[in-house]
Amino acid sequence: MVSLPRWLARFLFYLGLSVYAFLLVLPLLNLFAASFKSDGELFAPGFWPANPTLEPYLEALQKYPLARYLFNSAVVALATTLGVILVSATMGYALARIPFPGQGLLFGFVVALLLIPGEVTFLPLYLLVQGFGWLNTYTALIVPFVASPLGVFLLRQFIKSLPQDLFDAARIDGAGHLRMLWHVALPLSAPALGALAALTFLGSWNMYLWPLVTVNRSEMMTAQIAVAQVQNVEVTAWNVVAATAILVLLPTLIAFLLAQRFFIRGIALGGLKG
């Protein structure tokens, strides 16, 4: 069997990755180009418009309350992210550093929750929210997702991998568990917290089915529902649909670019130890 030179094998490897990455990004580039096309250029040959225009963006913002939808999504995504970080950090620390009866059983229960599909709990969760009278409120969009089994698992694994000497030194200095959590565990868990924050923010922002079911008032709808509404109304004006999709996609793209370093480190270090 003939083996390729190392430089050639590496070149072919990165060439294949580049082609694959380009194929993944190509639909997004096509969507971005379409958002700057006028109605006359929408179905004309060519990738980039000859005369780019911002009219599709202006029409999308003026014709639909996109600002309100984007605000609702931002409130839901940020509040859910903060809630998940708070709950996951405290519970993950307790499971990693505070011995108590049934600790292993509780952690096994958390891991078991990761295996349950969301479709199984969708109807019971809706009935619970309806019983509390939370429909058409931010509470219905935030509270059911604050307790994240994935977040608890990730933070527990990461905190458990930290050196015990650090916590022993803090305990000698008179620190309790809350101070050790705040001054020792959380600063050292920045990669895992960044990964969890990125995952939670992206998941909350892109959530579609749950807001569609629990919200029917226009002023409470989220950005993902806005894209579906614009697509249903603007059957032929795909440039307006593309502009709406770009406006909705932009916050998640910025959030991922800002948190990608923590995202990669958190998954590599926190998810594989413990």
User: CATH code at 157?
Assistant: 1.10.3720.10
Q: Are 189 and 110 in contact (CB under 8 A)?
A: no
One-letter amino acid at 3 equals S
Confidence check: pLDDT of 73 > 80: yes
Question: Is residue 258 in a domain?
Answer: yes
Average pLDDT of the chain to the nearest whole number = 85
Predicted TM-score (pTM) above 0.75? yes
Q: 100 and 145 share a domain?
A: yes
Q: Which pLDDT tens digit goes with each residue over 26-35?
A: 888 888 888 8
Q: 219 and 143 share a domain?
A: yes
Going by pLDDT thresholds of 50, 70 and 90, the confidence category of residue 84 is: very high
Measured distance CA(1)–CA(42) in Å, rounded? 52
Alpha carbon distance, N-terminus to C-terminus of the chain: 41
Question: Is residue 183 in a domain?
Answer: yes
Give the Cβ contact number of residue 186 at 10 Å.
Answer: 17
How far CA 233 is from CA of 69, 142, 202, in Å, comes to: 16, 29, 26
Question: For 162, which DSSP code?
Answer: S
Q: 79 and 51 share a domain?
A: no
- The domain of 93 spans 57-270
Question: Is residue 172 in a domain?
Answer: yes
How far CA 265 is from CA of 30, 157, 176, 268, in Å, comes to: 31, 13, 28, 5
Question: Is residue 199 in a domain?
Answer: yes
Q: 198 and 247 share a domain?
A: yes
Q: 166 and 79 share a domain?
A: yes
**Quick one: angle between helices 190-205 and 66-97, nearest 10?**
140
Q: Which residue has the tokens 């990964």?
A: 195
Question: Is residue 237 in a domain?
Answer: yes
Question: Is residue 79 in a domain?
Answer: yes
Question: Is residue 213 in a domain?
Answer: yes
Q: 167 and 72 share a domain?
A: yes
Q: 67 and 163 share a domain?
A: yes
Q: 195 and 258 share a domain?
A: yes
Q: Which pLDDT tens digit goes with each residue over 111-170?
A: 898 888 888 889 999 999 999 999 999 999 999 999 899 899 989 988 988 888 888 888
Per-residue pLDDT at 272: 44
Domain boundary, last residue among 40, 55, 70: 55
Q: 36 and 117 share a domain?
A: no
Q: 239 and 210 share a domain?
A: yes
Mean pLDDT of 68-86: 94
Q: 24 and 99 share a domain?
A: no
Domain boundary, last residue among 39, 55, 71: 55
Number of separate domains in the chain: 2
Question: Is residue 1 in a domain?
Answer: no
Q: 46 and 99 share a domain?
A: no
Per-residue pLDDT at 269: 53
